[in-house]
A and B are shown apart, each in its own frame.
Chain A
Amino acid sequence: MPYDTLIALIPLLPILGFAFTALFGRRLQLRLGRAAAEIVPVGIVIAVWVIAMIVVVPALQHQAPFGTEGLDVKSWTWIPAGGLSVDMGFHVDALTACLLIVVTTIGMLVHIYSIGYMAHDKATWRFFAYLNLFMVSMLVLVLADNWLLVFAGWELVGLSSYSLIGFWYERRSAALAAKKAFIVNRVGDVGFALGIMAIFLNTGTLNIQASLKMLVDQGSSNTVPLTVVALLVFAGAMGKSAQFPLHVWLPDAMEGPTPVSALIHAATMVNAGVYLVARANPLFASAQDAMVVVAAIGIFTAFMAATIAFTQTDIKRVLAFSTLSQLGYMFAALGVGAFSAAIFHLMSHGFFKGLLFLDSGSVIHSVHDEQDMNRMGGLWRKIPITHATMLVGTIAIAGIPPLAGFFSKDEILGEAFKNGFTWVWGIGVVVAVMTAFYMWRLMGKTFYGESRVDPAVAPKVHESAWQMTLPLVLLAIPSIFLGMAIGLPLGNGLLVQWLSPVFEHAEQILARPAAAETLLGLPTDVVLISISVIAALAGLIVGLYLFGWGSRKVKQQTVDAVSSANGTSRFLYRLSLNKWWFDELNDLLFIRIGGRVAAFLWWFDRTIVDGTVNGVGYAVRDAGNGLRQIQTGRVQNYALGIAIGLIVMAGSFLLIVGQPR
């Protein structure tokens, strides 16, 4: 089958799956049981994964027909409107291939996992329908060859996310969280839409490759300055990838079922923003001020999220803030010009964060829907597979070699340092320490130490079904080996080679000088790597000691210290626990103050605008009423009118025409 057809099938099959499940799922589930409703969507996603793998291999290696520029597949003209012509077309190059790997693999594993996780839910068919819809939207977003189609996929992803977060819609908190996610996304989408319009204004075309080339060629003769365009596009990325200040929706999004958190909020949807900036890399490279902004926001988000993760007690919340933090790393990488490193971290993070989320789902499932870590502990003997895979994920995220996280994180930090962004590097190292710390805190509280599980639940704690543990094991494999497979040698691994045609234009524009070869007498790379490893180990030791295997006395001391802290420490603790009070700030600004403004505008509309319109009506009516008084029905009154008219006419005639001779 020619590649054109295969590529077109990739988004097409999930559309069919969604339609089929939406139309027939309910009846199938009622009559024939869950499995009947699940076969089609899960089967389709597996098929998509197979097709994607077939397409990805030649695409990454620049074989025909992909070459170095990628393959363009044109389906049909969507909007033929004179000067604006938008095609429904797809573009597949190495970058697309990387995203395809992540999206389809994790998507498939999440689908399989959900069979087990949602086995007791009564609306399983709806869940799978939405999951398929999500796959469609993400695939369209990644495969699109023009900005408008990307935007369409972008919005669809927001919609699917809304449906999935609020899947248990009878729960008020879930409905509110879904609404919050959608609205905050929309704020970013406004920026993105404006960015697309600016691109069209500058170049007259919406095709991604063509417009990027034109934008760079036109340089400063663009109608809308490139910095503005880049910042607008980044605004969209901020919304979707939950960067500060549009990050507030991600923690609340944990209201959705855990497979949703794994798929959308760890591995795919939040990566859309990173993909967008990476895809637009020539644009950003030509607007270096925007890149600094990206880096700053990214690393700040990483830092802020890490501080908040210190004090959270809900296992999924910790992972959510961890996602925020790692996304910040990715944007920091994009901002300093380390595009391949960002994509590398995107892929490895997708795998190990997906693994961690699915693991947490397994843990929650085994302690019967308990999510508070303070009521877990000592679980490592009872749920061994979950524990082992989660351990793998934690080592990966903490950045301990030779697992995937170490390679990708270190490449980011190394590039930051070498490109002169020492402040990014410094903060990044601190965040690495914090990451290791809070992840080991999570492990310690959940699995180690003595059991604080509710005594009624404790005897029923058991390992999850094979549909849930199989994906865990399958995800652990790339978490271990991905880094070694495509990350070596550091800075010039397979992935870098595969992605170089995508980013070479940007690299040319940036034209960074070669970094210093030695630092403090040793090769630069060795120094940087050592610092990263030491940071990770430091966090590990402290975290495990305080929360895992440390003596009870030490733990008690810590708890005492925290609860009796006052002054600055207490403030910092509360700052972290309350998520830096951003939700309260948003509430004040937009709900309270915005509410006042809206109320005033409503008053204005009611009283003044409606009043004017109604007032005209009243005025006409009253005038009519008044004029009606003239009709008395009496001839003498009319005769008086005639006489007055006569006088007026005669008088004006005499006055105007002039005195008679």
Chain B
Amino acid sequence: MTLPDTIPFLGFGWNDLLFLLFAAVMVAAALAVVLQRDIIRAGGAMIICFAALAGLYVIAGTPVVAATQVLVYIGAISVLVLFAIMLTQTKAAPRALVFQTQIVPAAIVSVVIALLIGLTVLATDWPKQVATQVAAAADLATTLFTDYTLPFEVVSVLLLAAVVGGVFLAKRERGEAE
């Protein structure tokens, strides 16, 4: 049995349904990240947001990037963030103010940015496309390791420097008390 092109009640296709689901989850999670008082919950919401994004990447036809997103962002960065949160906890956190004094201008600025981008995008006449390309791993590997070898190597150096720098910065001073 083949699935019909459009879902009977809703009127749009399966891909579209998935897209809308992932999009809604992503936006909701992002809002939770910035609005939650409890920072651990914000970290959790961030993980959910990354996951939704991975889904969107799959729908957009780049499974490799989706996989990398899950591995790196959720697997490494989010864990790192949670560790940092735990190391910088203060007792007064539940009672402290969550937002800055400049929250109102910030909100206005964000809304304006969103509108600017949105309106510009909608007004632009993008070139039409027939079907989503799927970026096969083979093509990606070829491109990455032949055309973009230099950036690849530079990024590895960058990561090395980041690791060294991170260790050095976070290291305790000699003789400093716990």
- A is bound by B: yes
Q: Which of B37-45, B68-76, B104-112, B158-166 contacts A (4 or more CB under 8 A)?
A: B104-112
Q: Is the CB of B124 within 8 A of A650?
A: no
Q: A654 an interface residue at 8 Å Cβ cutoff?
A: yes
Q: A591 an interface residue at 8 Å Cβ cutoff?
A: no
Q: A636 an interface residue at 8 Å Cβ cutoff?
A: yes
Interface size class on chain A is 10 to 19
Q: Distance in Å from the Cβ of B71 to the closest Cβ of chain A?
A: 30
Q: Distance in Å from the Cβ of B105 to the closest Cβ of chain A?
A: 6
Q: A651 an interface residue at 8 Å Cβ cutoff?
A: yes
Residues of A within 8 A of B123 (CB): 659-660
Q: Is the CB of A643 within 8 A of B109?
A: yes
Partner of B124, one of A640, A643, A646, A661: A661
Residues of B within 8 A of A644 (CB): 105, 109
Q: Is the CB of A660 within 8 A of B109?
A: no
Q: A23 an interface residue at 8 Å Cβ cutoff?
A: no
Residues of A within 8 A of B106 (CB): 640, 643
Residues of B within 8 A of A647 (CB): 109, 112-113, 116
Residues of B within 8 A of A654 (CB): 116, 120
Q: B100 an interface residue at 8 Å Cβ cutoff?
A: yes
Residues of A within 8 A of B105 (CB): 640, 644
A651 to B117, CA, bound (A): 10
Q: Is the CB of A660 within 8 A of B120?
A: yes
Q: A637 an interface residue at 8 Å Cβ cutoff?
A: yes
Q: B89 an interface residue at 8 Å Cβ cutoff?
A: no
Residues of A within 8 A of B100 (CB): 636
B126, closest chain A residue (CB): A661
Q: Distance in Å from the Cβ of A631 to the closest Cβ of chain B?
A: 15
Partner of A660, one of B102, B112, B113, B124: B124
Q: Distance in Å from the Cβ of B120 to the closest Cβ of chain A?
A: 6
A636 to B106, CA, bound (A): 10
A643 to B116, CA, bound (A): 13
A659 to B119, CA, bound (A): 10
* Cβ contacts A610-642/B at 8 Å (1 or 0 each): 000000000000000000000000001100100
Q: B125 an interface residue at 8 Å Cβ cutoff?
A: yes
A640 to B101, CA, bound (A): 12
Partner of B102, one of A640, A650, A651: A640
Q: Distance in Å from the Cβ of B49 to the closest Cβ of chain A?
A: 21
* Cβ contacts B120-162/A at 8 Å (1 or 0 each): 1001110000000000000000000000000000000000000
Q: Is the CB of A643 within 8 A of B102?
A: no
Q: Is the CB of B109 within 8 A of A640?
A: yes
Q: Which of A654, A659, A660 has the most CB of B within 10 A?
A: A660
A489 to B106, CA, bound (A): 114
Q: Is the CB of B125 within 8 A of A643?
A: no
Q: Is the CB of A650 within 8 A of B109?
A: no
B121, closest chain A residue (CB): A660
Residues of B within 8 A of A640 (CB): 102, 105-106, 109
Residues of A within 8 A of B120 (CB): 654, 660
Q: Is the CB of B125 within 8 A of A650?
A: no
Residues of B within 8 A of A637 (CB): 102
Residues of A within 8 A of B113 (CB): 643, 646-647
Q: Distance in Å from the Cβ of A642 to the closest Cβ of chain B?
A: 10
Q: Is the CB of B116 within 8 A of A651?
A: yes
Residues of A within 8 A of B125 (CB): 661
Q: Is the CB of A636 within 8 A of B102?
A: yes
A646, closest chain B residue (CB): B113
A637 to B113, CA, bound (A): 17
A487 to B109, CA, bound (A): 109
A659, closest chain B residue (CB): B123
Residues of B within 8 A of A643 (CB): 106, 109, 113
Q: Distance in Å from the Cβ of A634 to the closest Cβ of chain B?
A: 9
A661 to B122, CA, bound (A): 10
Residues of A within 8 A of B116 (CB): 647, 650-651, 654
A654 to B112, CA, bound (A): 13
Q: Distance in Å from the Cβ of B128 to the closest Cβ of chain A?
A: 14
Q: Which of B100, B109, B113, B124 has the most CB of A within 10 A?
A: B109
A647 to B108, CA, bound (A): 11
Q: Distance in Å from the Cβ of B107 to the closest Cβ of chain A?
A: 11
A661 to B123, CA, bound (A): 7
A562 to B44, CA, bound (A): 122
* Cβ contacts B79-122/A at 8 Å (1 or 0 each): 00000000000000000000010100110010011001000100
Residues of B within 8 A of A651 (CB): 112, 116
Residues of A within 8 A of B112 (CB): 647, 651
Residues of B within 8 A of A646 (CB): 113
**22 A/B residue pairs, CB under 8 Å, sorted by A:** A636-B100, A636-B102, A637-B102, A640-B106, A640-B109, A643-B109, A643-B113, A644-B105, A646-B113, A647-B109, A647-B112, A647-B113, A650-B116, A651-B116, A654-B116, A654-B120, A659-B123, A660-B120, A660-B123, A660-B124, A661-B124, A661-B125
Nearest 5 CB-CB pairings of A with B:
A643-B109, A660-B124, A661-B125, A647-B112, A660-B123
The chain B residues found within 8 Å of chain A, CB to CB, are 100, 102, 105-106, 109, 112-113, 116, 120, 123-125
New A-B contacts (15) at CB < 8 Å, excluding given A636-B102, A640-B106, A646-B113: A636-B100, A640-B109, A643-B106, A643-B113, A644-B105, A644-B109, A647-B109, A647-B112, A647-B113, A651-B112, A654-B116, A654-B120, A659-B123, A660-B120, A660-B123
